[in-house]
Amino acid sequence: MNVSLLDLSAEEEVEMGELSSTLGFLLRLAQLKGFQGYYAAVSEDGMKPGEFTVLRLIALNPGMRQGLLARTLRIKPAHMTKLVQRMVDAGLVERTVPPEDRRSVTLAVTDEGQAFVTSQARALRAFEQQERGTFTDEEFDQLIALLQKFIAEGHSR
């Protein structure tokens, strides 16, 4: 198979071999494509998809512990510390040390943080609708289901 998948216009053809039907390669390109759409549609504020996901999850789970958040999103604790620190500095998130376990940290969005999440909701839905737009409803649901199946398989940690 050649470059047709990728469109380098009138450019020289590139022999891709098996690559164009390889899951890993397609996942990478799909992710790039998704980011592209995300930036075009949603974020004028410089917040990246991954960061916004962190904020969303804190908003959905007030009082969530930082470590659980890190494990849920497969982010290393050391990195999560920095991510959260940035959001605290930006006034979007509050950290609390609970008296029951003073080693731990629980997180919640501030009013400003919640307002930001809410304000992004419309653009986010538009973006997701646009992503769906490539497919029929049935195809999109299939794709989601297949990805969920792939992820769920043998999920140890």
Site for a second copy contains 49 (CB under 8 A): yes
User: Which tokens belong to 124?
Assistant: 């986010």
Q: What would the two tokens of residue 92 be?
A: 């979007």
- Using the minimum distance from each CB to DNA, give the nearer residue, 101 or 112: 101
Q: Which stretch binds DNA (CB under 7 A): 15-23, 48-56, 132-140, 149-157?
A: 48-56
Binding partner of 105, given DNA, a second copy, none, CB within 5-8 angstroms per partner class: DNA
Contact assessment for residue 47 and residue 35, using Cβ atoms and an 8 Å cutoff: no
CA dihedral 32, 135, 49, 95 (to 10 degrees): -150
Percent of the chain as helix, strand, coil, to the nearest 5:
60, 5, 30
10, 34, 45, 120: residue in contact with a second copy (rule CB under 8 A):
34
- Residue 143 binds which one of a second copy, DNA, none, with CB within 5 to 8 A depending on kind? a second copy
Please identify which residue in 7, 15, 23, 102 interacts with DNA, judged by CB under 7 A: 102
Q: Would you count residue 111 as binding DNA (CB under 7 A)?
A: no
DSSP state of 20: G
66 binds DNA (CB under 7 A): yes
Contact flag: residue 76 with DNA (CB under 7 A): yes
Beta partners for residue 96, in sequence order: 106
